[in-house]
Amino acid sequence: MSKISQRPGAAATAMLGLGIYRPERVVTNAEICEVLDSSDEWIQSRTGIQRRRFAREDETVIDMGVAAAEDALKAAGITADQIGAVIVASTTQGQHTPHAAPMLADRLGSRAASFDVSAGCAGFCHALSVASDLVRGGSAEYALVVGVEKVSDFLDPTDRSTAMIFADGAGAVVVGPADEPGIGPVAWGSDGSQSQVIRQEPRCRQVEHDQQPVIAMEGQAVFRWAPFKMADVAREAVASAGLELADLDAFVPHQANMRITDTLVRNLKLPEGIPVARDIADTGNTSAASVPLAIERMVRDGEAKPGDTALLIAFGAGLSYAGQVVTLPPVAGL
Ligand code: UT7
């Protein structure tokens, strides 16, 4: 039997830079309610969302992902040709073939291994873990992770359980070698017995000459599951990083619904004074983009800073979830 060599990898990894993209168009609750049978008051009190952003009709998942990725590369101080793997987390790029990552890599001028991760709103935290393991395993010196969604393409504007929640945007990070571990062990899993709770439905939305499936959600089922199960996942992520909740400088949960965040924080018994991401008020639920967008908001608002220790938790369709403790990276433009 021949002896196969394996590559050594980095002893430790971290996020080296973060970039984001928020579409220009701000969509108020009033605008949503021009079509949806709801009200600004109901949306704010039940979801915490005041406004969100929708991409332009001609703006694609690739366009948004490239914008975020270019800024992540700048913040990390590396060039596209140094990237050894590009991982795109998205469920709204509109087609299974071709997948998004090679097109995104090409726009950056990269010929790196490029693949998509489909794990709903938990996609970014899954991809971050995969990227860290690729770098630690020696398969790439640097890996680019992009969480990007254009959920507006898949919304039925008359559906009361989705139309006011979801939104568009992108966030990207470069993962690479570091002197000290900056990405803790992932706590992750799934419950496929609830796979129908968030799903794509053939019930189609007419788009110009074409038809597009829509996203449907049993919101209450997610509500009964997420704030309880995610408290356990959060505790597991913190313990496996060798830390305690009191060691955290920030908590960045997936921006699903402000009431889910509030209930999760209560269930977790997060110590008072640890800032919690609440980007959802201005941004809506951007699925796989929500965690990096929320990090950027916290750093921009001075609630957290690069070098801080933060707990990330993401959950959604699948049902899938993933979370890890990280050191916050430098953020482009801040
Ligand atoms: O990111 C992926 C994971 N997704 C999530 O985390 C989403 C989790 N779920 C949610 O965010 C919430 O379940 C929703 C925002 C989708 C719905 O809020 P809810 O508090 O669970 O509402 P509900 O379905 O329990 O409905 C309560 C009431 C009902 O009226 P009655 O029966 O009490 O008279 C509904 O008909 O609110 C009514 N309702 C609405 N009213 C105005 C439901 N949706 C709406 C609406 N506008 N959009």
DSSP string, 26-75: EEEHHHHTTTSS--HHHHHHHH--SEEEE--TT--HHHHHHHHHHHHHHH
Residue 333 resides in a domain = no
**Average pLDDT over every residue of 148-169:** 96
Single residue among 177, 206, 240 that ends a domain in this structure: 177
Q: Is the peptide bond before 319 cis (omega within 30 degrees of 0)?
A: yes
Residue 112: is its pLDDT beyond 70? yes
Q: Which of 86-100, 142-156, 195-209 has the lowest mean pLDDT?
A: 195-209
Single residue among 129, 159, 177 that ends a domain in this structure: 177
Query: Of ligand 1's atoms, which has the minimum distance to the CA of residue 160?
Result: 48
Ligand 1 pocket, 295 CB below 6 A? Answer: no
Q: Which CATH number belongs to the domain containing residue 19 in this structure?
A: 3.40.47.10
Ligand 1 pocket, 264 CB below 6 A? Answer: no
pLDDT in tens, 219-231: 999 999 999 999 9
Single residue among 151, 177, 203 that ends a domain in this structure: 177
What's the whole-number average pLDDT of the chain? 96
Q: How far apart are CA 28 and CA 278, in angstroms?
A: 17
Together in a domain, 118 and 80: yes
d(CA 185, ligand 1 centre) in Å: 34
Together in a domain, 96 and 212: no
Together in a domain, 166 and 105: yes
pLDDT at 202: 78
Range of the domain at 32: 13-177
Residue 63 resides in a domain = yes
pLDDT at 211: 74
**Average pLDDT over every residue of 287-299:** 98
Phi-psi region of 221 (alpha: psi -120 to 50; beta: other; left: phi over 0): alpha
Q: Are the C-beta atoms of residues 178 and 15 closer than 8 Å to each other? A: no
pLDDT at 94: 86
Structural domains of the chain, count: 2
**Average pLDDT over every residue of 31-54:** 98
Ligand 1 pocket, 91 CB below 6 A? Answer: no
**Average pLDDT over every residue of 90-102:** 93
pLDDT at 206: 64
pLDDT at 212: 80
Q: Whose CA is nearest to atom 43 of ligand 1?
A: 160
Residue 4 resides in a domain = no
d(CA 219, ligand 1 centre) in Å: 6
Together in a domain, 204 and 124: no
**Average pLDDT over every residue of 189-200:** 96
**99: annotated active-site residue:** no
Q: Which of 214, 20, 67, 61 is nearest to 149 (CA)?
A: 61
Q: Which of 139, 137, 79 is nearest to 115 (CA)?
A: 139
**29: annotated active-site residue:** no
Together in a domain, 129 and 210: no
